[in-house]
Amino acid sequence: MAQKLTESVNVGGLQFGWNIEKGQFIFEGEDAVLFWISSAMGTFFDTIEEISGKESSSLVFEATGFRQGLVVGEYFEKMKDVDVETAAKLITNTYASAGWGNTIIKDLNYETMTLTALLKDSWEHKINKNQGKTVGGSYLPAHYAGIFTAMFGTNIWYKVKHDQLKGYDYTEVEYFPSEVTVAENIHQLARKRESEQILQLEALVEDKTRELKTLIKELSSPIIPVLDEVVVVPLLGKYDEERSEELVYKTLTNLPAYKASYLILDLTGLNKDISQHTASLIEKIGSASALIGTKTVLVGISAELSMVISESDIDLSKFDCFQTLQHGIHYALSQLGRSIV
């Protein structure tokens, strides 16, 4: 059923009409809408970019342009009496009358499915120029890729050779068959975002791991000054090379500060899976402490540790050993001529 128009005009063979009562603008028999480019459309594009970010918004415009181009191309492809070259001229003329700028299609080759488009003063260019951008948009280049994808019956993609924003008279875009698709670009962006999130999580894990290691260093094997000249160092868990070095350094650095005459190593909290490395660590701390005038007393030796020590070449007989921490403290005090009353 034909639209009832209150006003109409024919421009270049194209029909424009208005139904003021219904608030309709009709272009070639279809509902259309008019926007001011620099203000309304510019604000629309700015808002999408602000919410989505530059990279995502560019992909949104590209995907939208391509898919809308498919709709246009499919419409003209169904017109069997119109060849691709004629359809291209009809489309560019139609777009020019709708304010899309001047577009020239050249070097169109149906055999190789290639062509070049020259876009001059398009609405997208005007928006980008008004926004102060130095790189052109992706909507219109992708739009024509969608049009010719439908008309050629094979996926067509594009490459921008020259951009009007760079000072050229027009934007030159080459089109050619390609495996690149908007769907693949969307997936790549999603994978990129996932990779970025993974990297952020890995960085966070590394930060937390460093914090945890620092905390463990502070909490594990603390030096406890129980009485004057007597300090206790409890050995906790399992000691690898890094923890062992930290323990030796921390102990030897702090003994002089406490003016320790006796160092009591409490082995009660050692991991049951005791290695020869752990036994060697005990001997190393005791020997190094002796060099700075501190005697070492061992307490809390388990049956498992005693077996490891007896089967190794490590000699701990030079250290006084007691079953409990209490016994070790009483012994150290007695050697200093003091006692707990």
Question: Which phi and psi (to 5°) does residue 188 adopt?
Answer: -65, -40
Does 166 lie in the same domain as 150?
yes
Number of domains the chain is built from: 3
Q: What are the DSSP calls for 174-237, one per residue?
A: EEEE-S--HHHHHHHHHHHHHHHHHHHHHHHHHHHHHHHHHHHHHHSS--EEEETTEEEEE--B
Of 174 and 200, more confident:
174
Does 59 lie in the same domain as 22?
no
Does 309 lie in the same domain as 326?
yes
CATH number, residue 47? 3.30.1380.20
d(CA 309, CA 302): 11
For the segment 213-220, the average pLDDT, to the nearest whole number, is: 65
For the segment 182-195, the average pLDDT, to the nearest whole number, is: 68
Q: Exposed, middle or buried, 182 (CB in 10 Å: 0-12/13-18/19+)?
A: buried
Does 42 lie in the same domain as 170?
yes
Report pLDDT for 191.
67
Note whether 123 and 100 are within 8 A (CB): yes
d(CA 53, CA 252): 55
- pLDDT tier for residue 1 given thresholds of 50, 70 and 90: very low
Range of weakest confidence among 35-39, 82-86, 120-124: 35-39
Cβ neighbours, 10 Å, residue 320: 17
Range of the domain at 113: 37-180
Report pLDDT for 159.
94
Does 63 lie in the same domain as 132?
yes
pLDDT greater than 90 at residue 206: no
Give the tens place of pLDDT for each residue, 104-154: 999 999 899 999 999 999 999 999 998 888 888 899 999 999 999 999 999
Report pLDDT for 216.
64
Give the tens place of pLDDT for each residue, 244-275: 888 888 899 989 999 999 999 998 888 666 67
Which pTM does this prediction carry? 0.55
| Within-domain flag for 214 | no
Report pLDDT for 309.
77
CATH number, residue 277? 3.30.750.24
pLDDT greater than 70 at residue 174: yes
For the segment 86-113, the average pLDDT, to the nearest whole number, is: 90
| Within-domain flag for 72 | yes
| Within-domain flag for 328 | yes
Contacts (Cβ under 8 Å, ≥6 apart) of 160: 136, 141, 171, 172, 173
Does 41 lie in the same domain as 93?
yes
